[in-house]
Amino acid sequence: MPDVAKLKKRALEYEQKKQFDKALDTYTLVLAELDEHVDEADVALYNRVGDLLLRRGDVSEAVDHYEKAVDLYTDGGFFNNAIALCNKILRNAPGRNSVYYKLGKISARKGFINDAKQNFLEYANQMQKSKHLKKTFHTLKEFTNLYPNQTNIQLILTNQLIHKNRKSEAIEQLHTLYDK
């Protein structure tokens, strides 16, 4: 088992020498060694590997590493880091719709209602465009459960349900709105 600290040092030296492919290979070994035992400092390595992959032109693989870092930061309660990485992902891969959902959930956990609303709605809209109606409805329901006073979203959900001939669910939503 290689010494992770030595591998990190070697990767940094490769970076300083502008030997980015060697640095990338070495960081990848570090991440493989860490496996599931990643602490906050090591989460930044996913971001670093993503940056190196992006520099090489491997946007999809870079974004995969960024998303892994987002998940780890979120799990660790480092929401600002996770939000920053989500924004980085959206700058580099705007079609990565799942990031809007993650960003909505993170914003909700931080108490940023407007940001959560914007991102949940964007994700729901993208899911509707791609004909993933279950995900659309689930997302809107999740937001209304998180923020029951946001009746305008519940009305959007109700209209969507009516439009898709899911009348019993729409009536349920209308009853909930009426009770409020």
Interval 57-116: pLDDT, tens: 999 999 999 999 999 999 999 999 999 999 999 999 998 999 999 999 999 999 999 999
Q: Do 129 and 109 form a contact (C-beta atoms < 8 A)? A: no
Q: Say what the pLDDT of residue 40 is.
A: 57
Put simply, whether the predicted model's pTM sits higher than 0.85 gets the answer no
Please tell me the distance from the alpha carbon of residue 156 to that of residue 137, in angstroms, as a whole number. Answer: 10
Give alpha helix (H) positions in 35-149: 40-56, 59-76, 79-92, 98-110, 113-129, 133-146
Q: Do 144 and 136 form a contact (C-beta atoms < 8 A)? A: no
Q: What is the DSSP letter of 178?
A: H
3-state secondary structure of 2: coil
**Interior angle at CA 165, CA 137 and CA 158, nearest 5:** 45
Please tell me the distance from the alpha carbon of residue 140 to that of residue 41, in angstroms, as a whole number. Answer: 35
**In the chain, what percentage of residues exceed pLDDT 90?**
53
Residue 140's identity, in one-letter code, is: L
Average pLDDT, the chain: 89
Please tell me the distance from the alpha carbon of residue 142 to that of residue 163, in angstroms, as a whole number. Answer: 19
Q: How many CB atoms lie within 10 A of CB 122?
A: 18
Q: Say what the pLDDT of residue 100 is.
A: 97
